[in-house]
A and B are shown apart, each in its own frame.
Chain A
Amino acid sequence: MTAKTAVPSKQKLGLFSTKTENLIFDTVNVILLIGVCIITLYPFLNTLAISLNDSTDAVYGGIYLWPRVFSTKSYETILLKSSDVPHAAMISALRAVIGTLVSIPLSMMLAFVMSRKDFVLRSTVTKLVLFTMYVSGGLIPTFLTYRAYGLMNNFLVYVLPTAISAFNVLVMRSFVDGLPYELIESAKIDGASEYRILFGIIFPLSMPVIATIGLFVCVGQWNQWFDTMLYCSSKKNLLTLQYKLKQILDTASSMTGDSVMADAAASSASEGSGRVTTQTIRAAMTVVSVVPIACVYPFLQKYFVKGMTLGAVKG
């Protein structure tokens, strides 16, 4: 890592003095980064504004960051008029909670045995877990296998197959590895069983990593929609919020390329029925499915930098 500097000392070759160059660099950099923030945030804020706008008025476009004709009708439609969306949200919440409660203890158990250097089956277990990072059965064989297990239209398909992720186990193991081994040894001398060591000593000490992984699993579960489409799309009471949103997206994306949606909405507006158009409903649904993420985001942010870098160096 030898740093060579191209510019000979004391003689500036550039157009500006170092100070001016720094100033220009910083200004341009800050402006570009503000641009990045705007591009990142605008779609969210725009959708929020559309969701809070009157639906017939929204058809004429031109809504940017603030609703033009304020209305909460879209939210009333999806949340109060029918139980579809609230039920889907409940399923999403259930899979997020149960999925996390199933995943964390199982992953911690594996992380614990994988960090026990005296365990005879340690390398076998480690290899079995790690190998899944590289090889998977693939979409169709996996689908057919789960179907043969009877997981079609079954809530378990949401929480069991994803319960153990090699990546999460690795992150947990490197945390457990960092705990002093004397803890385990002295507990053993006191006659504690392995179960007691894990759940009574290691578990409470691992709360930082458990909180991190728990949040990740929880958010991942909330965001899942593909398994719903694969395994549970024909069972109405197992549909999740994300899948509902996907269905709405399908009706909207089939209309890209022309202004069918606007025309249809405009005609319904001229009938004076005050019907809520897909556009605002879609926006409201999007907002509803993002709000929980936004709520846990501050906590997520606190932890994920650590988790991310741990994963990158591969435990």
Chain B
Amino acid sequence: MSVHSSTIVNKPKKEIGFWRQVWRQRQLVVLSLPVLVVIIFSYVPLWGWLFAFFDYKPTTGLNVFANKWIGLQSFHELFTDAYFWRGLKNSLGIGVLKIIFSYVFSLLLAVMINEVRVTWFKRIVQTVSYLPHFVSWVVAANLVFVTLSPDSGIVNELLLKLGIVDNPISFMGQPNLFWLIVALTEVWKNAGYSAIVYLSAMTAIDPSLYESADIDGAGRFSKIWNITLPSIAPTIKTLLVLSIGRLLSVGFEQVYVLKSASTTETASTLEVYIYDFAMKYGQWSKGSAMSIFNSIVSIVLIVGSNLLAKRLDGEGIM
């Protein structure tokens, strides 16, 4: 940020004082007022973290001090709750699996699209593969349930016809398949869209690199491996760091619409557990404690992964 440069530029004016300057720019201050929306809807909820330390009753509104102080009791209850640990396990499992799958598949798709030489075909593939990103998870879940249905879903029909299974599998009712289904539906919905970033990084690669590789007689795989991938390595790294930061927010909406009663054991992520728990049983203090835990872990992950990125090649992304 060029905060310093602007103060240097304004140095002669500096003696007129900060508040005078603010007054002079009052029209810009008025135009900054939308920042109040950010404060009201994004920062005030941080005040809600206090709810975790009180026996919170919603009737008291934001006046948290009208409630009884219970200190760290919510956190104690939380960390001794087996369902909390199950939620953490599911969140981490789904998070890691999703990162791996979306990485591999969006990168693969980008490389494949990049290798297509026929422009109109390239454009069609791109148009089609972006599409699912723009429908809601509710719509996506409906499509997934239909496609994987044991009654007439295409996947089961194909498996039956090819003789791979004897009886249709009810994919959405299998707890041990749930993580995989979340990862794969994520790929179906977003891999095409995530590929855009890689593709645009690939367009910046110097064509002369490929030309000289051609002269050396390099094959297609060799060019992908030795030129394309190393050239977009910074982009790959940036996106990886960003997604590690989001590890624990594993797409609440997605999991919520894909889960069913029979998959609770593996589908109840931290966020799902928080939601069910707080909303159904009114355990607001414990719910707030869990939200705090989630936020803090996320911040630690973001900062940690950024430090790691810096360590790896002396360059962070923030």
A82 within 8 A of B: no
For A308, give its contact among B10, B196, B299 (CB under 8 Å): B196
Find residues 219-275 in chain A having any chain B CB closer than 8 Å to their own CB: 219, 222-226, 242, 245-246, 248-249, 252-254, 256-259, 261-262
B291 touches A289 (CB 8 A): no
The answer to whether B27 touches A195, judged by C-beta atoms less than 8 angstroms apart, is yes
Flag if A62 contacts B6 (CB, 8 Å).
Answer: no
- Cβ-neighbour of B143 out of A10, A21, A44, A194 (below 8 A): A44
Set of chain A residues within 8 Å of B261, measured between Cβ atoms: 254
Q: Which of A10, A107, A305, A314 has the most CB of B within 10 A?
A: A305
B48 and chain A: residue at smallest CB distance: A141
Of B132, B141, B151, B157, chain A has the most CB atoms within 10 Å of the CB of B151
> Is there a chain A Cβ closer than 8 Å to B179's Cβ?
no
Give the residues from 11 to 44 in chain B that come closer than 8 angstroms, CB to CB, to chain A: 18, 21-22, 25, 27-35, 37-44
Indicate if the CB atoms of A110 and B222 lie closer than 8 Å.
no
Q: Which residues of A contact B298 (CB under 8 A)?
A: 134
A163–B37 CB distance below 8 A = yes
A300 partner residues in chain B, CB cutoff 8 A? 134
Residues from chain B with Cβ under 8 Å of A137 in the complex:
42, 44-49, 291, 295
CB distance from B214 to the nearest CB of A (A): 9
Contact mask B185-221 → A, CB, 8 Å, 1/0? 0001000110011001000000001001101111111
A116 to B2, CA, bound (A): 11
Please indicate the chain A residues that have their CB under 8 angstroms from the CB of B30 in the complex.
194-195
Sorting the interface of chain A by its residue count into under 10, 10 to 19, 20 to 34 or 35 or more gives 35 or more
Query: Which of the candidate stretches B76-84, B85-93, B96-104, B112-120 sits at the interface with the other chain?
Result: B112-120
Shortest Cβ distance from A141 into B: residue: B48
Report if B130 contacts A (CB, 8 A): yes
The 27 sampled A-B contact pairs (Cβ below 8 Å) are A12-B217, A36-B129, A37-B128, A42-B147, A110-B34, A118-B6, A123-B3, A136-B42, A137-B291, A137-B295, A138-B48, A140-B48, A144-B51, A148-B58, A149-B40, A194-B30, A226-B253, A245-B139, A253-B172, A256-B172, A257-B170, A258-B150, A293-B135, A305-B200, A308-B200, A312-B197, A312-B239
Q: Which 3 A-B pairs have the closest CB atoms?
A: A141-B48, A138-B291, A61-B152
Chain B positions near chain A (C-beta within 8 angstroms)? 1-3, 5-6, 9-10, 18, 21-22, 25, 27-35, 37-49, 51, 56, 58, 61-62, 109, 112-113, 115-117, 121, 124-125, 127-132, 134-136, 138-139, 141-147, 149-152, 154, 157, 170, 172-173, 188, 192-193, 196-197, 200, 209, 212-213, 215-223, 226-227, 230-231, 235, 238-239, 245, 252-253, 256-257, 260-262, 271, 274-275, 278, 284, 287-288, 290-292, 294-295, 298-299, 302, 317
